Amino acid sequence: MPNVISAIKNIVENPVTDIKAFYGSNNRINSMGEGLEAYIKDVFANTLDCDEQLKTIKRQEEIFSYLGNNNNPPDIMLKNGDAIEVKKIEGKGSSLALNSSYPKNKIFANSPMITKKCRECEEWSEKDILYAVGVVSKKSILSKLFFVYGVDYAASNEIYERLKANINNGILETPNIEFGETKELGRVNKVDPLGVTYLRIRGMWGIENPTKVFSYAYTEQDSDFEFVAIINIDKYYSFPKSDIESLEKLVNDKFRISDIQIKEPDNPAKLKQAKLLQLNT
């Protein structure tokens, strides 16, 4: 089955940098964010060279159990495999806007942030989540693509849930205010004398982009297009040996695989072994 290793192989062999030129002519996208997501779907489904849209759709049906929306994570789920969250930014230094959803180290079927369709698309309880972060210019040029798993990028869910609960409890303890039921941080009803105005209190989460987060672990290269993936060693070797060997055969002066150490998100005092995969064209 397709996985991140086979997807990286497709990227190395078929790096697409002009999103608009590649996807704009076949009406598959309405925005550059959709273009990046279409590219990620194609590299996982191995449909980059498929000119017939119906064949692409059928192939995606074979390997994806869920294709999401902009309001609820994840964007993509592989059948019996990982979840994928695609994020587009316009500058290498830009942070990622996550809106009401905090960063995930894993995604769970019982999470209130996912949809019913996502929860029921296959039999699952938890999945590793891969963040695919692309730097796409206003001219629709993809200059950088970064793959990193949530377990190597974000803290455990309990860290964020604890903060969310503390803020929520602080709001609820405010005297002489009527609160309403909500999945957000809070809702205040009857703010005005007529009792017709309400206030929604929402969390707007964000996280530094992985280029900045992992600047201690690798050196960014000056090139027209750079692909970077950081995968912890246990995850890397969990994939089929044949896929790993096929990818490692592509190593050359432009595509490199090396051993690095990265910080544990829950305890940066501890380091763990990881693979750095880097392509520059």
pLDDT tens digit sequence for 64-74: 999 987 778 89
Question: Low-confidence residues of the chain, pLDDT below 50?
Answer: none
Q: What are phi and psi of 156, to 5 degrees?
A: -60, 150
Domain ranges of the chain: 4-156+208-280
For residue 255, what are the contacts with CB-CB under 8 A and spacing of at least 6? 12, 277, 278, 279
For residue 199, what are the contacts with CB-CB under 8 A and spacing of at least 6? 187, 188, 191
pLDDT tens digit sequence for 93-151: 899 999 888 999 999 999 988 999 999 999 999 999 999 999 999 888 999 999 999 99
Q: Report how far residue 42's alpha carbon sits from residue 230's, in angstroms, rounded to the nearest whole number.
A: 20
Nearest CA to 131 out of 167, 88, 81 is that of: 88
What pLDDT, on a 0 to 100 scale, did the predictor assign at position 30?
53
What pLDDT, on a 0 to 100 scale, did the predictor assign at position 274?
98
Nearest CA to 74 out of 40, 27, 29 is that of: 40
Q: Report how far residue 279's alpha carbon sits from residue 145's, in angstroms, rounded to the nearest whole number.
A: 10
Please tell me the pTM assigned to this model.
Answer: 0.91
